[in-house]
Chain A
Amino acid sequence: MNPVNVVSGRVVVRRSERFTLDAELEVRRGEVVAVMGPSGAGKSTLLQVLAGELRPTDGRVVIGGDRLSRRHALDPRRRRVVMLGQNPLLFPHLTVRENVAFGLRAGGASRQRAHTEADEWLWRVGLAGAGEHRPRELSGGQQQRVALARALATEPRLLLLDEPLTSLDPETASDIRTLLRKQLAYTMTSTILVTHDAFDAAALAHRMLVIEEGRVTQRGEVREVLARPATRFVAAAAGLNRLRGTARAGEWTGTSFGVPLRIPSTEPAPRLADGDDVVAVFRPADTRIARAEDATWTGALQLARAEADDATVGEWLARVVRLEPAPGGARIHVTEPELAIDVPTALVAALGIAPGDPVRVSIAPEHVRLIAGPA
């Protein structure tokens, strides 16, 4: 085992005929690794295995020098893997201080020392003086702070965060996110963070693992993964448009309602041969939208077909699928190909479009990034 890694190995869990989780992972000491994936992809299964709640069916993971496999369960007392989920699970019959002191007492600390240390932890998570309260007297955010203090006080080898911010309101979530960032860095706690929110991953994690249908589909530095999504899921999570096509002369080519379409990029894609699969990635905010010259769908399509000989570059005819409100404006979903466009409120009003309307969509080459390989 690499001594730098706190967790390393491969987890295989066969949950049914159709679903098997098979993921390799490693977490370095003091590192926060985000795990993202659609629901049912196996993220929770992975956490359950690492938390010792579920035996893997195959594979082998080493957690801080202890082996975990189908045959080999970790001694729960020596495991020192603490999970923190949406439900803070504070012991309701103990005070806040006793909750934080619980792990310290279990570790053999005297009551007085445990309580002193617990108070220190409560101060660190911004709850100085709340020690005498019962958990139910605290707000959801405060309970989550106590749960974090209780987890970190035991100096876990590995902290598992399972969507810890999901059930909190945005303001509280932001506070807890800041607290997590600070305390995880301060305590150098090796952490696996399961989240559906790319923003949480970006704010808290160093590296990231994307799991889809039980397989790791992408891994790397968070920044890198979000900037170069390998799958539709990551692109959506990162809020990017992602179009599959075929490479031709270093450009992305595809069709829209049977009309050939080309999208060039100013950033040269490496090793891109004609006929290769290629993915065009760009931000919804960089995409431009305008009313079609002909407001009727058939007319607009005829016009587009007639112009097709010039092979419109980075601009095509699309149909509005739906509009949804977005901060400062609207997000317009259009098809073929499917993508999202963010427009400011003023433009939404000026466009005056509705689902079903034809529109002209364009993307400038400097905003496009081409990624080689199949999706």
Chain B
Amino acid sequence: MTTTDAETREAEPGEPSKRGRRGRSEHAAAQNRLGLYLIAPSIIVLLIVIGYPVVRAVFMSFQKDAGLDPATGLFTEGGFAGFSNYTHWLFQRCGDISCPPGTLGSQFWSSMSTTIFFTVATVIIEVCLGMWMALVMSRAFKGRGLLRASVLVPWSIPTAVTAKLWFFIFAFDGIANSLLRTEILWTGSQWPARFAVIIADVWKTTPFIALLILAGLQIIPEDVYEAAKVDGATKWQRFTRITLPLVKPALMVAILFRVLDVLRIFDLPYILTGGANNTTTLSILVVNQIRQGFNSAAALSTITFVFIFLVAFVFVRVLGANVVQTTQSQQKGAR
């Protein structure tokens, strides 16, 4: 298959090492070269499919959208816009006036707060619930296969189908109201609608979080617990002093992945509530804007991207979520 070249080429650099130090540095150089050759195609593809669009989006975001200028009432062809697309979103400026309520420009901060609210709420619920699930799974003798199988079901269902499924569950005459004996218009007002989105997301992603945490739990050696037990540590002490600190790297990675994932949430609220009743997230706002003006949408998507990037940066730097190392060390625990 495609690896044939890689295999035969790799067999060579192993040999020259007999020739001492010079051979070793040649060996390192050969590895560097081979590594570069093998990596380059993927990096080039990523530059094309991600790098180029991002650069293009930044360029677009400084261009005026063709259309009627709200200030002069004249048709403009576009041209350099300076930061006006950014001030449009960040300070809600539409030309020289502030954006009238109801326009997309006026929705930026509410979508931002909705997105942050979804992120905080779902991540807290999912991590707590996921931690509990992982603990149950790690202690289960029998039924581990059944657990793993059922945990994979919500994950493998497409989010679009998940959204439709919960849309049906939360219908006015649906099973949710029937079981709870309530008559709530779930998608009809702000808090029930937000709650519906959160429940659907928790259902879909908690099992995934549980799997990530479980992988972290499984690399904790048994004898640490044994030793603590001998020393008379209570169950709670063992959880807070052993499990939590040792599972922390895996937990931080799980939280980082989830946070970055919810910050770009689109499918669930878009299908479940259509973004109505204050469930419009940043991604939905971008999509709504696209057909009203590319360049303004490009500015908004750049803001979204920079925001998500900053959050990731804070996570990795300040909170020390070492994604690369943790995921590498987890591989052993996963089996």
**Are both chains from one complex?**
no
